[in-house]
Chains A and B, each alone.
Chain A
Amino acid sequence: MIIKSRSITKNHAINVLEYVIREEKDHIVLDSDGADISSAYTFIGDSSLYKKDRVTKAFVSKVISPHAKDKLNKKDLKNLLHEVFREMKLDNRQFFAVIHQNTDTPHIHVISNRIDYDYNTWNDHHVAFTCQRTCKNVSNKLGLIYANDLQGNYDGKGKEKCIS
């Protein structure tokens, strides 16, 4: 499993939302909270209820991609999503999560508000390291494959090396 995350601006969030609900991506809505998800603009409109003027990058875009061999169903992916939220302290806020099924490995795209329901802003300092740590902890907890454990097993093109 790998996790990617970054803070994004409002306009970037609109573009990401339009990307994640594209028809060719064969998406399924996994979960959401606190915002109308019928379109990108309704989500952004509802998220303006929790905003701070000085926070310019007010949204968080996240991708959670478990390994194909884990073979997780929708219920498992939902459990994984909330486990990641708990670990990264990204719960208690508006979010929208979808699964993309157009690739060999179904993965989750998440857009969430950086400001939670109690008006606390999520700290995005060194977020790459936070993602790495979360990925390791959650993989161990749920018994999933952690990307770093597979280092050296693949060539540069994502194909498994033949060990003879």
Chain B
Amino acid sequence: MRKHRLHIRITKEEFLELERRAKRAGLTRSDYVRKVALNSSQKFLTNSDRELFNELRIELRNTANLRNKNASLRTTLDPIRKQLKNLIRQFQ
């Protein structure tokens, strides 16, 4: 439960910049300030990042299904899955 409030004064330019950055990260203003203040190592994804992330996930899902159905494909698909997982880990 969030009980405490925090009031800060900022200029109009700062406010607009904050709003732009929050929108780019796909978060509300409050969520953005909370995440940046409390967890500075947090990465923010843009919309294009999210699309790429979803494509990678779909690719990983398809390789898993192929691998499960065809035992002979394991040796060829396992290195590809490893690379996809490494790429996905960069986003998380």
- A residues at B contact (CB < 8 Å): 29, 32-37, 46, 49, 94, 117
Interface residues on B, range: under 10
In contact, A36 and B67 (Cβ under 8 angstroms):
yes
Rounded to whole angstroms, the CA-CA distance of A94 and B3 in the bound complex is 38
In contact, B88 and A32 (Cβ under 8 angstroms):
no
Q: CB-nearest residue of chain A relative to B88?
A: A49
Q: Which residues of B in the span 19-37 have a Cβ within 8 Å of any Cβ on A? A: none
Secondary structure at the B interface, as helix, strand, loop or mixed, is helix
Secondary structure at the A interface, as helix, strand, loop or mixed, is loop
Rounded to whole angstroms, the CA-CA distance of A136 and B68 in the bound complex is 32
Q: CB-nearest residue of chain B relative to A50?
A: B57
- B residues at A contact (CB < 8 Å): 57, 60-61, 64-65, 67-68, 81, 88
Q: How far is the CB of A23 from chain B (nearest CB, A)?
A: 18
In contact, B88 and A34 (Cβ under 8 angstroms):
no
In contact, B68 and A49 (Cβ under 8 angstroms):
no
Q: CB-nearest residue of chain B relative to A31?
A: B68
**Of B60, B65, B81, the contact of A32 (CB 8 Å cutoff):** B65
**Of B60, B65, B67, the contact of A49 (CB 8 Å cutoff):** B60
